[in-house]
Structures are given as C-alpha cells and as structure tokens.
Amino acid sequence: MSKVAIITGGGSGLGQSTALRLAEEGVRIAVVDIDEEGGNETVDRVKNLGVDAIFVKADVSKSDEVKKYVDQTVEAFGSIDYFFNNAGISGSGANFLDTDINEIEKIVGINLLGALYGVRYVAEVMVKNGGGSIVNTSSSAGVIGQDTVVTYSATKHALVGLTKSMVAEYAKDGLRVNAIAPGPTETPMVKTYFDANPKMKESAESGIPQKRLGTPEEVAELVTFLLTSSAQYINGEVIRIDGGFTNTK
C-alpha cells in the first residue's frame, strides 16, 4: 500500500509544490488549508497525477480542527506516514512596537500553536503505528534575527525547539522530525509581504549570495527527501535552503 502524507498549508506555495512532488512518488495526500479553492485545486492536480487525495478545510490555530484533519486522514487512508507541518503566515511587516496585539495572537496561533497541535495529534498516530516522518517549516527568520518579522521570527525559532525536543523524546519510537529553514522564496505569502514592503524585497535579493529568491519546487525537493525513506538517518536537523542568505549573517 502506498504511503500517506498530510500537508498543512497545502493550497498554495510550498505545500502545493510538495503535494505534487510527493504525488510523483505515489504518496496519497491529505491537503489541509483554510482556503477551500486552493486546497481543492491541489487535490485536483494530485489526482491528475493518478494519486488519491482529499481536502480537509481547517483553521490550524484551533485544536479541534487539527484533530479533525488527522482523524479524517486516518479514516480515508488508514494511516499517516509523512507530515509536512507547513501552514503559516508572516504578518504585516510592521515594526514590533507598532504591531497590533491581535496580529501577534493570530501569528502565534497559526504558526506556533497550529504546529504544536499538528505534531501532537499526528505523532500520536505515528508512534502507535511504529513510526513516521515529520518536517516542520521554520524559516531563515528561525535561525537568525530579522527586523519587521519579530513575532514571525519568534514562532519560527520555536519550531526549531519543537523539532529537536520531539526527537529527544520519540526517536526511540520510530519518529523522525526535521525542520527546513527556507530563505525568501517565490510563494504567494512572500509575494504579499514584499508587495506591502517593496524595500524588503530589494534588501532580501541583494543579501542572497545567489542573487535570487528560491522556488517552491526547490523546497519541495528537500522536503520530499527528508520525509521519505531516502533520509532514514537524518533526525533532529534544521536544514537551511536559502541560497546562502543566513550564511552571511
């Protein structure tokens, strides 16, 4: 029987690209997103590759909705082998002292609580079934400090701790947990942020040694490698994919 993956934030960007890349490997996909249109588009594209997929609408900041997407995946496919814990938002780009408290709560709710809830419920299934592989989406802002994204950066640093601590507790139970730390990448979320903060795009591109943004397809290739059997002895790592961006900081 082919493997099963849950992808949060699967309706666009890194999530959608990873769904399509995993589908090329025959992996069945549960696409999770708050955006029904984007989520269903990903499902249709996966099915066009000859692989089964479902869409589950969920607000990952709510624990009951996270449990729902886990339960529905198990109901549909019988197991969970891979989890790309990817849903996230960046925020307005305002300096921290100018940031509204509601925005802080929303970013923490989606980026941190959503990731914690996801690992909590998915890992429970995986450990019961003898193991599985998780990739958390951190960020370049999760390994260095960056201005205008203080709350986002705090949540992405937290995912590094989540990754390492889960390995310390559950590697013996067959769980692998790694994180990726993408630099600026050509996703809808990054485009929205740069459209609102055009000087930040210029700054980002000039600060990347390769002088370009990354692509979702490049990140999907890394995620697929980390999730699948090709990376069995890689555990607790935070892998940067940023064209050398954080290497210069």
Q: Give the position of tokens 């307005």.
A: 92
Question: CA-CA distance, 9 to 32, in Å (whole number)?
Answer: 6
Structure tokens at 210: 């390769």
The one catalytic residue among 69, 121, 152, 170: 152
Question: CA-CA distance, 14 to 117, in Å (whole number)?
Answer: 20
Query: In the Cβ-directed half-sphere of 228, how many Cα atoms lie within 13 Å?
Result: 18
Locate all alpha helices (DSSP H) within the chain, ordered by sequence.
13-24, 36-48, 63-77, 101-107, 114-128, 150-170, 188-196, 198-207, 216-227
Question: CA-CA distance, 95 to 99, in Å (whole number)?
Answer: 6
152 is catalytic: yes
The alpha carbon of residue 76 and the mean position of all alpha carbons in its chain are separated, in whole angstroms, by: 22
> Three-state DSSP class for 226?
helix
CB 140 within 8 A of CB 240: yes
CB 227 within 8 A of CB 22: yes
The residues assigned a catalytic role are 152
